[in-house]
A and B are shown apart, each in its own frame.
Chain A
Amino acid sequence: MRLRFVALLIGAFVFLFPFYYMLIGSLQAEPDPSVSGAFPKPGNLTFHNYAEINKAIDLGRSLINSGIFTGGVILGTLVFGVLAGYALARLQFRGRGLVFNLMLLIQVVPFQLLTIPLYVLIVRSYGLADSYLGMILPFLINSTAVFVFRQYFLQLPAELFDAARIDGASEVSILWRVAVPLVRPALLTGVLLTFIGPWNEFLWPFLITKQQDLQPLAVSLSNYLTTVSSRATNPFGAVLAGACVLAAPAVTLFVIFQRRFISANLSSGVKG
């Protein structure tokens, strides 16, 4: 028992250390690459690096844009992705195999292969340049999330569904009342997975929006990282501060929701 705790502790150290280092580095007035640089020194600490970012980009506006972009994707994935995942796992209908294979295929295709044809399609055929919709569209339903949903619906015992069907419940109500509550951790996993993509995505929103007031945080920050930060008094610190600003909202949200990823009474729910 103690061994496990110590092992987990060492593991946690390995996982957290780079972030600690990132935070310390972003607070340093002067970069310090030595071993002692890993410990905070009161004389060398400052919020200056953050002040410079705040000066260079409109954080509020960027955050709102990120929120709209990510929110749209999560909504799309939760509504349409859960429907598709459920159907693929629990319903027998024509074309199920085809849809499943399509879903697999889409996951295997590297996005870089599609970037430019997709750009042309969305800008020229759909006329969605410089709009939130154009930004959201390619990510609207996350295929990996659909796959995850399907996998967890598949794990639920078949008797549950048979019983509900015999009671005459419609598929929509079975999905909503029986299946969804049981796979809540999987849903949250799906949301997390879906969240990461658009939140950190840089190239696509950048291609699709030239107007700065539409650009999400990842775009304005990487813009800042490539050009503006070299002017900062401590360029390395500025880069790390940018990294922290991008990471903070995602980490915070995760910390808030992390309890809900695991539902402890699930197995009893399945049994009952």
Chain B
Amino acid sequence: MRRGLIGRLLGAHPVGTAFVTPYVVFLAAVFAYPLGFAVYMSFHDYFFAAPGAVVERPFVGFDNYVTVLSDPAVRRAFGNVLIFLVINVPLTVVLSLVLANALNAAIRWRTFFRVSYYVPYVTASVAVVGVWLFLFNSNGLVNSVLGPLAPDPSWLVNSGLAMPTVAIYVTWKQLGFFILLYLAALQNVSRDLYEAAAMDGAGRWKSFLNVTVPGVRPATTLVVLLATVTGANLFTEPYLLTGGGGPDGASASPVLIMYQRGIEQGNPDVGSAIGVLLVIGVLLLALIERRFVGKEES
């Protein structure tokens, strides 16, 4: 569509440029420099120095990337985040759509339900993590209820279960927001379509599949993208919930490793390389997802 407009100088609605200018200035003023800087650092032997200090920061090509990619801890962290996404994204999409659909109907206690599903999202992780630790440790309430079915070693110290537990925690924590996105989208699905489906004799399940799901497709694209992006940037949860990515790095995420290497250990060059790789990875994932889920753009 844009192809036809190239001939004109500013497009059909030049006022659009004015509309986005504040946002673009903001991005340039706040993000362009640090982002460019991060890429620059990842190709140099870089560390932060006091203003005025004379230090050498030679160009090292892809050295930092080699360091990062040959580090088993980093590779494991990328693997961990994939496990996380495989659990978290489908679960988020399905649960939030189903719950939003249920909450959209006229049911008793609707307000109560809505509020209860949003509360985790509204609360800071720092605040909730303490309770989760309490619930999921070996003598916690969850294991007491499960009795002999409780896993050993317990959830957060079990190398097979730590990442899934974190993924479920994040699903639980973020679900309210995604429900909200779907609820807003559901308002735009025309009633007529449901009526037509009912006339054709479709049951509730059929009309959910044939009317609701296609009707909220743009929202689904959004949910998938946002869930992937927030999941890939996972940091607070392994930092707080599993004591720095434990057990034995089983729940370490790339951002956690980036934070350790870049900020704690003073190697921002290596940290940036991890960050740049992560950004590229997520962009690729987002592209693939858009191909599969989203067709709104045409």
Query: Which bucket holds chain A's interface residue count?
Result: 35 or more
Say whether A97 contacts B17, CB under 8 Å.
Answer: no
Say whether B116 contacts A12, CB under 8 Å.
Answer: yes
Say whether B16 contacts A93, CB under 8 Å.
Answer: yes
CB neighbours of B212 from chain A (8 A): none
Closest residue of chain A to B15 (Cβ to Cβ) is: A171
B201 within 8 A of A: no
Q: Report if A110-B19 is in contact (Cβ < 8 Å); known contacts: A104-B286, A254-B115, A258-B118.
A: no
CB neighbours of A87 from chain B (8 A): 13, 15-17, 19-20
Q: Report if A84-B118 is in contact (Cβ < 8 Å); known contacts: A112-B255, A247-B127, A261-B183.
A: no
Say whether B263 contacts A15, CB under 8 Å.
Answer: no
Give A126-150 as 1s and 0s: 1 = Cβ < 8 Å from B's Cβ atoms: 0000000000011011011011100
Say whether B51 contacts A99, CB under 8 Å.
Answer: no
CB neighbours of B279 from chain A (8 A): 105, 108-110, 113
The residues in B between 174 and 205 inclusive whose CB is less than 8 angstroms from any CB of A are 175-177, 180-181, 183-185, 187-191
Within 8 Å by CB of B11, from A7, A92, A254, A263, lies A92
Within 8 Å by CB of B145, from A35, A221, A266, A270, lies A35
CB neighbours of B103 from chain A (8 A): 8
CB neighbours of B161 from chain A (8 A): none
A69 and B282 CA atoms in complex are apart in Å by 30
Say whether B13 contacts A258, CB under 8 Å.
Answer: no
Say whether B131 contacts A18, CB under 8 Å.
Answer: yes
- B residues bordering A, Cβ < 8 Å? 1-2, 5, 9-17, 19-20, 22-24, 26-27, 30-31, 33-35, 37-38, 48, 51, 99, 102-105, 107-108, 111-128, 130-132, 134-135, 139-141, 144-145, 172, 175-177, 180-181, 183-185, 187-191, 218-219, 221-222, 226, 229, 232-233, 235, 255, 258-259, 262-263, 268, 271-272, 275, 278-279, 282-283, 286, 296
